[in-house]
A and B are shown apart, each in its own frame.
Chain A
Amino acid sequence: MAGEAPYYRAVGNEIEVFRAAARRGLPVLLKGPTGCGKTRFVEAMAHELGRELVTVSGHEDLTSADLVGRYLLKGGETSWVDGPLTRAVRQGAICYLDEIVEARQDTTVVIHPLADHRRELPVDRLGIALKAAPGFQLVISYNPGYQSVLKNLKESTRQRFVSIELDFHPADVETEVVAHEARVDVETAQTLVKVGEAIRNLDGSPLPEVASTRTLISAGELVAEGLALRDAIQAAIVQTLSDDPDVERALGELVDAFVPRP
């Protein structure tokens, strides 16, 4: 595949695990908080392995028909249209189902036969079972943080997968990532990472989510475009984390402690 390799900085052994799983065609479950680099990791691996990447984002109305395909009406005739999963199975691509737990329970069941030794996708509307082409690999991601309270992956589903756990990078690596991605100097990146860590480590935090690497990078990008650091943090981190003016103000005070007012 052409193009520049997506930037991914490994922390643990995730790349080795993924490579080994890919050689055997084992499905992979990526765990980690929002914005810690799950999607980027899959992109980097697909590029390295030279396979096409089909990404589907899970949402609560995602049905199995959305994944597998459906009949549509075309000029008075019905015609079958492959869904993204079926396409990936036929072509031998990596199919990345992002935040799969968001989808309905019945949706996760269609991937079962693909995820074990059978490696086939039953398409009941066509009455066939598609054998997966070599190179096909299933990757799903799952955010064990807030979702585990609400939605859990079924045991029978998750036991079919090889798990790779990703988390926010350690401060020095994250600084490097932010500096590289946002193209800002190391000092700015360091401040951003410090703010991010402070928000992540709040005891009894009122926030449903924490400042992810992605938000830190957005803030860095705003800085690179000439915004003052305080304003960038305000726009990309504080305002995105909460709508509650009270919490915003409290977060603002916390940020001010790192970036003193001029």
Chain B
Amino acid sequence: MTAGGPGRFRLLATFVGGRSLGVVEAPGGGPPHTDGRRVFVSAGAPASQQRREVLVQAALLGAGSLDERWIRALRGRPKLARRYLALEGRRALAALGARLPLAAALGSDAPATTASAEASLERARDRTPVEDPPAWFGAIRPSRLLGAPPAGPGARPRDEEVRLSFRPTDVPETEDEDDAEAGEESRILKLFSSPLSSDTVSDFLHKLLGSSRSAAGDAAAGSAMPTRSLRRVASAGPDARPLPVPVRVTGRRPGAAAGVGGALYPEWDEHRKRYKPEHCRVIDFPLRTRAGVAAAGVARDEVLRRRLTRLGLGPRVVRRQPDGDDLDIEALTDLFVDLRAGHSPPEHVYLERRKLDRNLGVLILLDASGSASDLDPEGRSVHDHQRRAAATLAVTLEELGDRVAVYGFRSHGRGSVHLLALKSFAQRFGAAGRARLNGLEPSGFTRLGAAIRHAGAVIEKQAGTPHRLLLVLSDGFPYDDGYESRYAEADARKALEELRADGIACLCLSIGGSTPADALQRVFGSASHASAPTLAGLSRRMDELFLAALQELAAPRRRRA
């Protein structure tokens, strides 16, 4: 933004309007107006004029003159809107003048004649003459105020990103979940599937009893006895949840060879307080779009780098320090030997316990859905911001020797939740990978819970480090077909709880987005989210954010009944 840009008035507008407002120049030389989120001012006008324009538009918002119930009456009636603007603008400015000297100083050309928005609308409707508003009052645009829904998710993904084939038998076709009991495995065999994942006993029984009682025919090819500890109990505990079912991917090559994986995940049904098993099909596959390596540039962030360098997770004793908690007896002895022998070495004789050890695996999960394509006043989409942040974080963490993977996610209904591997744990984050990340186009929707569950599974299998962190870069606004508001938030929150229970820390960064903090808090919990207009806004406390997320694992969990 240039030094003279109208963005400088945004805090003034926010204060006067009582809500977060941006200020930009009106496109195409239009008159000043507002859409409830931004104030548009005359392009190229001197600052003093823009200031007045901002003031009156924000004052209208702040005084409630542009509430939906008043504005509806103005739709399609420009003359009425103009008379209403003249009356309300004067009223709002007069009201503001009482608490803001600037409003009193700029003032209005005529005193306020009405006492409320309702009265103004009445007067605007009758035929008494109303003095025309000065030009800087601008205009009221009812259509923009009413018809400004958050821009919907964008276009469908490109073909090359979804070219995969699946065996249709893997898709649960029916909504009816009670049918899931049909292929139940033998209870007796379950009793013998050991928590230590030793299958010897059950194998033996398999051979002994034959497989007539087992449901082996229903299991996926090559699927072993479950490796987690399983015990059949009469009632499920508060943390019980259905396990994911692996999905077989067929095509010209076996899925595993192409790096394609997937599973059917359960989804939490907040309304019925239970899981819907095998509800979402999640596929992860490497993104193979062609991208010119010329677009592989990644912004560096020195502050971030310095901060993350300081991130130590395990304590380590550092010997022979000039200062510290305790005396290093060995060093002390050496010092005295040296002193008696006539040397004068530096007195580095202290021990210090510092947290230096790291052993961190991070999966960066990037929201690649269309909802991230909203533009901010500077013309950059939320997605742009998040993508840049992902690239910078990934490069920085990789340089610091942590294990990093970068996945994008998007969904089109519960049957196709896609995780696009931009960089797996095993790959280097080379130019091609960076270019692919930079060229990632947002599309589709946000089924956050399923994406988080699968990302958790990927970390579990591939990170191979004791400390594991899932870093979600999203606007924190889950939305998909049949996946909205409270239901979606509850599912995403549940998915995060599951991950934490499995020892994976979670942190959500909302960069460039406008999601209110309380929405993020509902989904991610108070300690594990942060938002800022740019990554640089978070860089200087990134180490603390990482630590807080990882430490939350150590904190005792609160159980919900």
Contacts and interface: CB of A to CB of B under 8 A. Distances in A.
A246 B548 contact: no
Nearest to B105: A260
A70 interface: yes
Given A73-B347, A149-B526, A151-B544, A203 B14 contact: yes
Interface in B309-330: 324-327
A209 B26 CA distance: 32
A151 B555 CA distance: 12
A232 interface: no
B326 A257 contact: no
Interface stretch (A29-37, A44-52, A115-123, A247-255): A247-255
A235 B546 CA distance: 34
Given A201-B15, A202-B15, A246-B8, A70 B99 contact: no
B325 A63 contact: yes
A198 interface: yes
A203 B20 contact: yes
Given A73-B349, A149-B526, A260-B101, A251 B326 contact: no
A188 to B, nearest CB: 13
Contact of A257 (B101, B349, B526, B551): B101
A194 B96 CA distance: 13
Interface string A50-76: 000000000000011100001101001
B548 A253 contact: no
Nearest to A245: B3
A250 B325 contact: no
Given A64-B325, A203-B19, A250 B12 contact: yes
Contact of A258 (B100, B347, B514, B537): B100
B131 to A, nearest CB: 25
Interface string B10-22: 1110111011100
B100 A249 contact: no
A47 B108 CA distance: 54
Interface string A222-262: 00000000000000000000000111011111101111100
Q: Interface extent on A, as a size class?
A: 35 or more
B7 A250 contact: yes
A148 B544 CA distance: 11
Interface string B326-340: 110000100010000
Contact of A150 (B10, B11, B99, B545): B545
Given A149-B530, A150-B545, A256-B102, A250 B15 contact: no
Contacts of B103: 257
Given A204-B20, A250-B7, A260-B102, A148 B325 contact: no
A206 interface: yes
B1 interface: yes
B10 A203 contact: no
B8 A150 contact: no
B9 interface: yes
Contact of B3 (A70, A71, A201, A249): A249
A13 B151 CA distance: 50
A78 B326 CA distance: 11
B548 to A, nearest CB: 5
Interface in A184-234: 194, 198, 201-206
A202 B347 CA distance: 53
A247 B534 CA distance: 13
A157 interface: no
A246 B530 contact: no
A245 B326 CA distance: 45
Interface string B412-438: 000000000000000000000000000
A253 B51 CA distance: 9
A151 B15 contact: no
A150 B541 contact: yes
Contact of B8 (A148, A151, A205, A250): A250
B19 A253 contact: no
A246 B7 contact: yes
A149 B19 contact: no
A152 interface: yes
30 contacts: A63-B325, A63-B353, A70-B326, A73-B327, A73-B347, A148-B526, A149-B530, A150-B544, A150-B548, A152-B527, A152-B548, A154-B555, A198-B15, A202-B11, A202-B15, A204-B14, A204-B514, A205-B11, A205-B14, A206-B11, A206-B537, A245-B3, A249-B8, A250-B7, A250-B10, A250-B11, A253-B11, A254-B12, A257-B101, A258-B102
- For the complex of A and B, the 5 pairs showing the least CB-CB separation, nearest first, are A204-B20, A257-B102, A65-B325, A250-B11, A249-B8
Given A206-B533, A246-B7, 5 more contacts: A149-B545, A203-B19, A203-B20, A250-B12, A256-B12
